[in-house]
Structure 1
Amino acid sequence: MTDTPSFDAAGRLVAEEGFGDNAPALTVSELSGALKRMVEDRFGHVRLRGEISGWKRAASGHAYLALKDDKALIDAVLWKGTVARLPFGPEDGIEVIATGKLTTYPGRSKYQIVVESLELAGEGALMLLLEKLKAKLAGEGLFQQERKRNLPFLPGVIGVITSPTGSVIRDILHRLADRCPSRVVLWPVAVQGAGAAEQVAAALRGFDALSPGGPVPRPDLVIVARGGGSIEDLWAFNEEVVVRAIAACSIPTISAVGHETDTTLADYAADMRAPTPTAAAEIAVPVRAELLAGLRERGARMERCARRYHERGAERLAGLARLLPTPALLLDPQRQRAADLGERLRRGLGRRLSDARGDLARAGGALRPGLLRAGLDRAAHRLAAVWRVAVTLNPDNVLSRGYAWVAARPSGAVVADAAAARSAAALSLHFADGSVDVRVERTGGRAYVADKPDQPTLL
């Protein structure tokens, strides 16, 4: 089949291959694949400098952003593992150098750089990132002076977060031993490089989670320490995760990162900043010798104060004693009064004795023998008259003249009339020479007293 060459292709209804055409039509996928291979082969390793724009961390852990300058913009992606290895937290507006490879995204006809590493483009970019993070955390109040707590005067346990192999821990232990030996619990961490910030933050949270009295003692004070270095070396202590962990720690914290001229965001969040790790040990504990000297001085002052108090008390007592009257002055009036009372008692006893003698003399005059005998005779006559009446009234005296008196048995009550005798079951008849027991019998309606049954006495 031959075609007639035509330059008015737009007028064709169905596409036809022209004579000698050696560029067959490609599919979109074919072209996109070819472009992808070409881009990846040509730009398999690039270093790209630009400013971060639109930084976003997806739920999958991947991060998406764009790198731009004043004239162009390119999309970029960081896979989850790359994000975890980043030595800093990217933010919009920070100039960085991205290392990776270019690739295309056929689904949207876009090209992008897959970033394998991300670095700050010089110290200027690093300082800009630092200032932005500092402003953000300061705006949340993490650096306010009101949040800072006083350090314990003499901590029993000191927690140290630092590298276990560096000179920092040796300097701290040596300084503590010189000043005031204390118990130290070391939480070993990496102090620079990937993952250092997370380890330091985890150590702070770990110390804070310890319970008092547990197998691992809970520190009374925590020192976060690292030796000197460049700003890149100290960057882990500028990370947001470390700053927030220090601010959230309930244990008072000293930040001792770098040398005296080095400053990190951890210094702003801590309760106290030490210029060096050695200075942190000096801040943490007092000098034992100075404590002992101070105790001795205070003991001497207390002794002097007690002695002065005793001396002043003695002076006040002596002054008051001079105002008090003497014992003689107090007792002389009482002695005089006692003497007066003794004299009055002597005179009173003399008068009483004289009165008693007069009474005795008067009573003695009335006690003449003739009077006493006359009184006795009169008393004897009266007694004899009374006795005669008593003898006359004695009931037993009339019994000898043939009389008897009757008593009920067994009560012994005197029976004074016949009615009482009739009602009694048994009687006793009392005579001058003795008594006879009798019983009362009734025959034909009449009562008899019988000593013997065959000889009754009619009542």
Structure 2
Amino acid sequence: MPETPPYRDDQSDGLLAVQTAGDNAPALSISEISALLKRTVEDRFGFVRVRGELSGVKRAASGHLYLSLKDENARLDGVMWRGGAQRLGFVPEDGVEVIATGKLTTYPGRSNYQIVIERMEIAGEGALLALLAKTKARLEAEGLFAPARKRPLPYLPRVIGVVTSPTGAVIRDILHRLRDRFPTHVVVWPVLVQGPGAAAQIAAAVRGFSALEPAGAVPRPDLVIVARGGGSIEDLWCFNDEDVVRAIAASSIPTISAVGHETDTTLADFAADVRAPTPTAAAEIAVPVRGELVAGLADLHARQQRAVVRLVGLSRERLEQRARRLPAPQALLEGQAQRLDDLGDRLRRALGHRTGLAAAALAQRAAGLRPAVLGARLQQGSERLAAQRLRPSLVLQRIEAARAQVGALDRVRRSLDPKAPLARGYVLVTDASGQLVRSRVVAAGHGLLHLEFADGVLDVAPGAAPAPASPARPATKPRVAPPGDAQPKLL
């Protein structure tokens, strides 16, 4: 740093700055003094570890993390670039006490200093538990741990998905227990179960199982087990990650959380449908014991056979009891056989009596069929027929009456014939459509008229100029044809 020049009494305040020869304290620009301060702070505090409570945590769209560290008396701004923020093993929140490792620097834009954080850890197990309780309360308020969200596990899953480390003892214990109880197809999704990136892999595995198609190349599990062995709260922290908890809660497949030992509890246990105290217990919960199922089926089969045999025996006993109460078949037919014999005897007697009566009636009627009787009846009929002779006068009277009636009808027909007057010089006038024309005015409006005489028809066309009017003649009342007569009327 430049040394401070000694105070000179011979200098007096003036309007213009005086630059004397040999002056070793030249005026610096704001940028220059800011750069000097930045280098000085970074050289002096190039590596620091700061303990404080997080405040004003904000994650920018670029992924950078901006926050403040504070204690009872002071406050220090901090920034964590995107790469370091992505490697954090927890979600930073206000009120969490952390230890931040990085370097101090200045920000010339606001003339303040800040810490550039390269690594950030929770300050002690107490602070870690406080963060856990705070996250649990927030997620529980959203309803992710509600009992109503829990789903029943399938009784006998065909495929079980396991999210765990492929190299640990957990997967071996699960496979061994499943093989002993009920051999089942297992699909393992290998993930990290501790350290940076573990939470992201676990969440992706849970979502990946839900995204599998039922008929795809990889069978879709009926049940998912999220498992890990025991460890400290720091070792199990990835199962408290909010992303993991939300993935388990949103899984479309029922899940069992088997993280740690029986005394270990993570947020994944609250989000899962069932919590198992250990991975081995998760395998026991997932499937029943095959031997017990076989024994149960055998017992049910034996009970079924005993029930059938007992039912058949009871039915046979009831049938025998009812059969003993029935009368003998011969006893049922004896009365009917006797009645049949009686009716047969009565029928023979009735036929003989009926035949005798018919023979007597026939003999009585046959007595009236002698030739003498028939000849007398024929003679009587002939005499009556001869008495009924036909007289010609009666027939002739009826013929004359009919002839007179026919002549009268013919005279009426001739008088009503509309063409009879044509022989006396009358003419029947019709238009081209055959309609009768009754007046001169109507006749003048037609282009062609048909004049029917007694000896034929003549077609005429009325002249353009009307003919002189003839003296008016008294109109004669036309004769009205009888009903049903369709002949036209005469003029």
Question: Normalization by structure 1: what TM-score?
Answer: 0.75
Distance 2:359 2:57 in 1: 138
Distance 2:253 2:177 in 1: 22
- Secondary structure at the counterpart of residue 262 of structure 1: coil
Change in 2 beyond 3 A, CA 1:7/1:315: farther
Give the alignment of 1:42-441 within 5 angstroms: 42-321=44-323, 326-355=328-357
Listed one character per residue, the Cα deviations across residues 166-193 of structure 1 (whole Å, up to 9, x for unaligned) are: 1111111111111111001111111111
Residue number among 27, 34, 37 corresponding to 1:35 in the alignment = 37
Listed one character per residue, the Cα deviations across residues 129-169 of structure 1 (whole Å, up to 9, x for unaligned) are: 10011001100000011101000000001111111111111
Residue in structure 1 matched with residue 3 of structure 2 by the alignment: none
- Secondary structure at the counterpart of residue 51 of structure 1: strand
Distance apart, 1:315 and its partner CA: 4.0
- Give, as a single letter, the amino acid of the residue that structure 2 aligns with 1:12: G
- Give, as a single letter, the amino acid of the residue that structure 1 aligns with 2:54: I
- On the 8 A contact 1:5/1:19 being kept in 2, the answer is no
Distance 1:122 1:13 in 2: 60
Give the alignment of 1:447-458 within 5 angstroms: none
Distance 1:322 1:26 in 2: 132
Residue in structure 2 matched with residue 13 of structure 1 by the alignment: 15
Distance 1:165 1:35 in 2: 52
- On the 8 A contact 1:157/1:218 being kept in 2, the answer is yes
- Secondary structure at the counterpart of residue 109 of structure 2: helix
- Secondary structure at the counterpart of residue 107 of structure 1: coil
Q: How many residues align?
A: 372
Distance apart, 1:285 and its partner CA: 0.6
Please list every run of 5 or more consecutive structure 2 residues that lacks an aligned counterpart in the other structure. 1-6, 376-491
Distance 1:197 1:141 in 2: 21
- Secondary structure at the counterpart of residue 200 of structure 2: helix
Question: Normalization by structure 2: what TM-score?
Answer: 0.70
Higher share of residues assigned strand: 1
Distance 1:7 1:319 in 2: 146
- On the 8 A contact 1:94/1:129 being kept in 2, the answer is yes
Distance 1:74 1:329 in 2: 119
Distance 2:275 2:313 in 1: 49
- On the 8 A contact 1:50/1:69 being kept in 2, the answer is yes
Distance apart, 1:319 and its partner CA: 4.8
Distance 1:257 1:144 in 2: 20
Distance 1:272 1:328 in 2: 76
Moved more, 11-20 or 251-260: 11-20
- Give, as a single letter, the amino acid of the residue that structure 1 aligns with 2:86: A
Distance 1:353 1:220 in 2: 96
Distance 1:295 1:340 in 2: 68
- Secondary structure at the counterpart of residue 220 of structure 2: coil
Distance 1:72 1:366 in 2: 160
Residue in structure 2 matched with residue 25 of structure 1 by the alignment: 27
Moved more, 124-133 or 342-351: 342-351
Change in 2 beyond 3 A, CA 1:7/1:333: farther
- On the 8 A contact 1:260/1:275 being kept in 2, the answer is yes
Listed one character per residue, the Cα deviations across residues 102-130 of structure 1 (whole Å, up to 9, x for unaligned) are: 10111111100000000010000110110
- On the 8 A contact 1:5/1:18 being kept in 2, the answer is no
Distance 1:325 1:148 in 2: 68
Distance apart, 1:324 and its partner CA: 5.0
Distance apart, 1:260 and its partner CA: 1.0
- Give, as a single letter, the amino acid of the residue that structure 2 aligns with 1:168: V
Distance apart, 1:366 and its partner CA: 11
Listed one character per residue, the Cα deviations across residues 48-73 of structure 1 (whole Å, up to 9, x for unaligned) are: 10000011000001000000001101
Moved more, 260-269 or 20-29: 20-29
- Secondary structure at the counterpart of residue 89 of structure 2: coil
- Secondary structure at the counterpart of residue 214 of structure 1: coil
- Give, as a single letter, the amino acid of the residue that structure 2 aligns with 1:243: V
Listed one character per residue, the Cα deviations across residues 229-277 of structure 1 (whole Å, up to 9, x for unaligned) are: 1111111110000000000001000111111111110010001111111
